[in-house]
Chain A
Amino acid sequence: MIHTVLADDEVLARQKLRQLLRNEPEIDVVGEGATAIETIELVRATKPQLLFLDIQMPGMDGLDVATELCSDTNVSPKPHIIFTTAHDQYALRAFEIHAMDYLLKPFTQERLSSAVERARKEITVNQHPAGNSAPGQSGSHYTTRIVFKSRGRIVFLPVSDIRWISAEENYVRICTQNETHLLRETMARLEEKLDPDMFLRVHRSSIVNLQHVKEVRTEADGEYAVVLVNGEKLTMSRGYRSRINGWLTHN
C-alpha cells in the first residue's frame, strides 16, 4: 500500500480527490491537511510516500511546502509530490523541484490514474534499487523527463514513454503510446538532450526510442525501415543501419 496525504484548503476538492482515490487499489489515504502548516506537520508525523498538494493555500503556497519538506531532515524518505491546481503558471517551478506530476483542476479519474501509476512505478523502483532502472538513467546528464504544455494540459513526460520523434519544420512531434504532442523545438537540440543509448536518430527527420524497436526490415524498394513493437514503421537512412543492427544483435 502507498501511504498518501492529501492537502487542499477546499473541502470539496479534498472530497473529490478522496473519492477518486478510492478507485485506486494501492492508495491508502492516511491524512488530510487544509492548511500549509497542518500539512507539514501531518507529513512529519505520518511519513507518507505520496503527497497530493494544492498550490494556492492560505499562508504558504504548495511550492513552499514542498521546498520546506525537501530540506527537512526529519522527513525521510521524502514523499513523492503530485501538485493539484487550477493554475498552470507554476508548472515549471513544480517540475524543477522534482514533482511527480501536475494535475490541472478539474481532472478526471483517467488523468489521476496515470499520475498514480507513475508514482507507483517510481516508489517500487526506489524500494528495489537494484531493479530494472532504464539504461543510462543514473548519474548521467541526459534528460529523463520533459515538461511542456499541450492541449491545455501540463505534461510531465518521462522520456521512456516516448516512442518516436519526428521533425515538422520548426517543430517536433513527440509520439507516445496514445498521443502526439507538437513542440516548438529542433531535432538537433532534442537529440543532444536524449541519452544516445536509449534514443537513436534513424533519419534526418526521426528519432526512435530503441526500447520500442522490434526489428529493422528491408523494404521491397531496397529502403530500410524501423518497425516498432506496436507495428508502426519509420523510414530509415542508409547511414544509420549499421548502428541500429549493432544494437539489435547486442540485445
Chain B
Amino acid sequence: MLPTIKGRTVPPFLHPVVFVGAFTLLGLLFALQEWVSLHSWNSHIIITFKLLTAAWCVHYFLLGAICWLLWWWLGAHIQKATPICMATRVLPLSLAVSVFEEMIWVAVFPQLPLGLPRMTYWHRLAFHLDSDLVDSLVLFWAVFFLLRGIGYYQLYREKEYAAVQLETQFANAQLRALRMQLNPHFLFNTMNSISSLMQIDIAAADKMLEQLSSLLRITLERGDVQLIPLSDEMEFVEMYLAMQDRRFAGRVRQEVNVEPDLYDALVPAMLLQPVIENAYTHGLSRLDRNGLIAIDVRRQNEMLAISVINSGLGLRPESPNGSGRRGVGLANIKDRLRLHYGNGQGFTIEELARGKVRVAITLPLQFSERPTRQLTGYGV
C-alpha cells in the first residue's frame, strides 16, 4: 500500500522501497565506476570488489533512508519552507544529516580507509567527511528541491481537480433544479383540469385522476435520475398523450414513430412532455378538428434526432399577456440540453407550411450500459 500524507496519495517513486532502492542503485554505480578506475590505473590499493560495493551501497542506502524518513516526517513543510527557513533550519539540518550518516557509515566499516595506518574512530570520521561531505550535501539539497517541485505539482493538480468537481456539482444542482421545476408545473396544470372536469363529467375526471396517478407513480419511481432510456421516456409520453387525447376527445390525431433500435438510447428525463404540452396549449387547442401531433425519433449520423410537429396557427406572436408562458418549458429544455451535452446538441423551433410548427432536438447518441430492470413474470 502506498503511504499517504494528509490523505494525499504519493507517486510510486516515493514508495520507500523504490526511493531507497534508487539511492542504493546509485551507490552501486559509483562502486562500479571506482572499481573500473582502480583497475585501469593499476593502483597499489588492494580492495575486494565485495567490500567496495558494500561500502558504496550502504553509504547511499543510509542517505536514501534518512532522506525518505525526513520527507515522511516533514511532508508538507518542504513546500512551505521560506528562504529564511531554508537558511536557518534546512541548512543546519542538511549538515547534521550528512554528518550523522557518515558517523553510522564509519562505525559499520572500521576497516576503511585501506592502506593507511590504524586510526581512531574520530580520525576516520574526519578523514571520510573530508571527501564525502560535499557529495552528501549536494544529494540532500537535490532531493529537497525535487520533493518541493513534486509538492507544487500535486497542489496544482488538486486545485484543478477541485475546480472541475465544483463545476460538475454546480451543473448537477442546476440540472436538478430544472428537472424539479417541471413536475409541479405539470402536476398542478393537470389537477386544475381534473378540478374543472369534476363539475361536468365525474367519470372523465375519475379517469384523468387515474392517469395522473400512473404518471406520478412513474415519476416518483424514477426519482431525480437525469438520463433515462428512451423506452421509459416514450412510455411517459404515451401516457401523457393518452391523457391529452381524452381531454381533446379525439380532435387531435396522434402519431408516434420510434426506430426500435433506439429504445435503449439515453435521453434527459421529461424531455418531451413540455414540448408536447406546448404543442397542445399554443397550437392544437386553437383548432376545432383535424389536429395532428407527430413525434418522430430517429438516428441521424450518430445523433439522436427527435422531431415534434403539431398543427395549429403557426408561430404567431402571442397576445401580450400570454407571450412569456411559451418560453418557460422550452427554455428549461434548452438549458438542460446545454448542461448535459454542451455544444454537442441542437434545439430549433420553426414554422412549417400551413400553420404547422416543428420542434427539432438533436443530441449525442449514447446507450445505457445496463438495461433497465423490469418487473416481468410468467406463470400458470
Contact = CB atoms under 8 A, between A and B. Distances in A.
Interface of A: 88, 91-92, 95-96, 98, 104-111, 141-154, 168-171, 182-185, 193
Contact of A182 (B216, B263, B371): B263
Interface stretch (B125-133, B165-173, B273-281, B372-380): B372-380
B231 A182 contact: yes
Contact of A170 (B207, B264, B376): B264
B209 A106 contact: yes
B203 interface: yes
B239 interface: yes
The bracket for how many chain B residues form the interface is 20 to 34
A108 B210 contact: yes
B375 A92 contact: yes
B376 A185 contact: yes
B203 A109 contact: yes
Interface of B: 203, 206-207, 209-210, 213-218, 231, 234-235, 238-239, 242, 260-261, 263-264, 371-372, 374-380
Nearest to A189: B378
A161 B90 CA distance: 87
Contacts of A183: 374, 376
B238 A151 contact: yes
Nearest to B242: A151
Contacts of B379: 95-96, 98, 143-147
Nearest to A20: B206
A106 B210 contact: yes
B39 to A, nearest CB: 76
B371 A170 contact: yes
B260 A168 contact: yes
B378 A152 contact: no
A109 B209 CA distance: 12
Contacts of A169: 260-261, 263-264
Contact of B231 (A108, A147, A171): A171
B297 to A, nearest CB: 13
Contacts of A91: 375
A149 B375 contact: yes
Contacts of B371: 170, 184
B247 to A, nearest CB: 15
A184 B210 contact: no
A143 B378 contact: yes
A146 B377 contact: yes
Nearest to A147: B377
A211 to B, nearest CB: 18
Contacts of B264: 169-170
Contacts of B209: 106
Given A107-B210, A153-B214, A182 B376 contact: no
Contacts of A104: 213-214, 217
Given A106-B206, A142-B380, A169-B263, 10 more contacts: A88-B375, A92-B375, A108-B206, A109-B206, A111-B210, A147-B377, A152-B213, A152-B215, A182-B263, A183-B376
Contacts of A146: 376-379
